[in-house]
Amino acid sequence: MKTKIIFSEKCLGYGQYHVEGPERVRKAVSILKDRGYEFVEPQPANEDDLLRVHDPDYVWAVKKGFVEDADTPAYDNIFEFARVSSGGAILAAKVGGFSIMRPPGHHAGRNGAALGAYTRGFCYFNNIAVAVRFLGKRTLILDIDGHHGNGTQEIFLGDEKVMYISLHRHPNYPGTGVSHELNCFNYPLPPDCGDEVHARTLDKALSSVDAERFEVVGVSAGFDTHAGDLASLGLTERGYGEIGRRIGALKRPTFFVLEGGYSGENVGKDIDALLKAFEKEAEGK
């Protein structure tokens, strides 16, 4: 069984001069097409989907183009782009797929910038949170992006149905995620710590998890931990395979939502490495 890739060309239609630009996804998509993955197109999330996570005033402000900060421009029609990306996460959750849509989401809290961060870090709606609330199941969220998912933590802090685990570079934007809080478990790592330290830390993080408790695993799949990228932990393709193997070993229904990762070529190869190892382990081969 090959994990389906959730993608719509619509997500390439904005922000071409920004580091979070369309090329990162376009290149990754072309690599995954060459490698034989099946693609499925998502529908936009509707407002009810967004309102399970975000305050009505915030959704209204994004719709009107009133939200802009130093990292996160108010692009024309960003509401439409952002809700297709959230729709991608919902479809990934429904079919156990990998949504390779943009904009990313894990820095967006209920009301925008979360837990005291100054910006929304390229995010508008919290796609993985929208998908988790859509399913309404007991969910383990594993965030492997190189930045702490401050928005996701803010949204689910104290939520009995959800456990949040994040491995991320520290110190770094947004400056949160230094220690565990309630149901949110944070593992800050030094810059360029490398594949082995990362894998050992992930083992430690997952050793405290009773996977049986969860009906589904949602992965905030960021690849800016790749060596040389924006939040480098010095990871290589092999390291993403190690991550995929550990996620597969949880033996739960799983979906993936793209967060960061700013070299499209690395993103494509890293997704392939992660999914191949995930599938091999999940299928017990």
Binding site residues, Zn ion, CB under 5 A:
145-147, 222, 224, 260
Alpha-carbon distance 261 to 282, whole Å? 25
- Cβ-Cβ contacts under 8 Å for 157 (sequence gap 6 or more): 181, 182, 183, 184
- The residue number with the shortest CB distance to Zn ion is 260
Contact 105, 128 (CB under 8 A): yes
**Minimal distance, residue 260 CB to Zn ion, in Å:** 3
CB of 109 or CB of 146, closer to Zn ion: 146
Annotated catalytic residue, options 107, 168, 198, 226:
107
Among residues 133 and 168, whose Cβ is nearest to Zn ion?
A: 168
Q: Quote the least distance from Cβ 145 to Zn ion, whole Å.
A: 4
Distance CA 80, CA 74 (A): 12
User: Do the beta carbons of residue 277 and residue 244 sit within 8 Å?
Assistant: yes
| Min separation Cβ 94 and Zn ion, Å | 25
Q: What separation in angstroms does the CA of 247 have from each of 76, 140, 193, 221, 276?
A: 37, 11, 20, 12, 11
Closest distance to Zn ion from the beta carbon of 24 (Å): 12
Min CB(147)–Zn ion separation in Å? 4
The Cα 110–Cα 113 span in angstroms is 8
Is 206 exposed, middle or buried, given 0-12, 13-18 or 19+ CB atoms closer than 10 A?
middle
Distance CA 26, CA 101 (A): 10
Q: Where are the alpha helices (DSSP H) in the chain?
A: 22-34, 47-51, 56-64, 78-95, 127-135, 150-156, 195-207, 237-248, 264-282
Q: Any catalytic annotation for residue 107? A: yes
Active site residues: 107
